[in-house]
Copies of this chain bind each other. A is one copy, B any other.
Amino acid sequence: MDTDADRIPDHPDIRAVTLQQVLEALVDPVRRSIVTQLSDAHADVKCGGFDLPVSKSTATHHFRILREAGLIRQYYVGTSRMNALRRNEFDDVFPGLLNVVVAADNTSLTHG
């Protein structure tokens, strides 16, 4: 039986995530775009709700990398997989990193 518990992926304790893992997640422009769009949305966003230049299966891969790096939490609402930024938990372990990356990414989008 496909219960909700089966469908919700595992999420790491962010204290077990290394800076190496976080930087490897954030160095990819598509993954950084997901984080920036989530941050700018000020709300959780379903997987299909992002503006991304990649296929659905590639996007799924990027969401998984972000989830394993502790940056996003995924859960289901009906058949939609939702994504939430784990901002507070993340800021506790890597203070300021998320804000800096999102701010710099938004600046680079604006100014080229």
> Which residue of the partner chain, among B24, B32, B100, B107, contacts A100 with CB atoms under 8 Å?
B100
Docked Cα-Cα span, A100 to B103, in Å, equals 14
> Which residue of the partner chain, among B32, B96, B107, contacts A99 with CB atoms under 8 Å?
B96
Copies of this chain: 2
Which 3 A-B residue pairs are closest in the complex by CB-CB distance?
A19-B104, A23-B27, A96-B100
20 residue pairs A–B, Cβ–Cβ below 8 Å: A19-B32, A19-B101, A19-B104, A19-B108, A20-B29, A20-B108, A23-B23, A23-B27, A23-B32, A23-B101, A24-B27, A27-B27, A94-B100, A96-B96, A96-B99, A96-B100, A97-B97, A97-B100, A97-B101, A97-B104
A interface, CB within 8 angstroms of B: 18-20, 22-24, 26-27, 29, 32, 94-97, 99-101, 103-105, 107-108
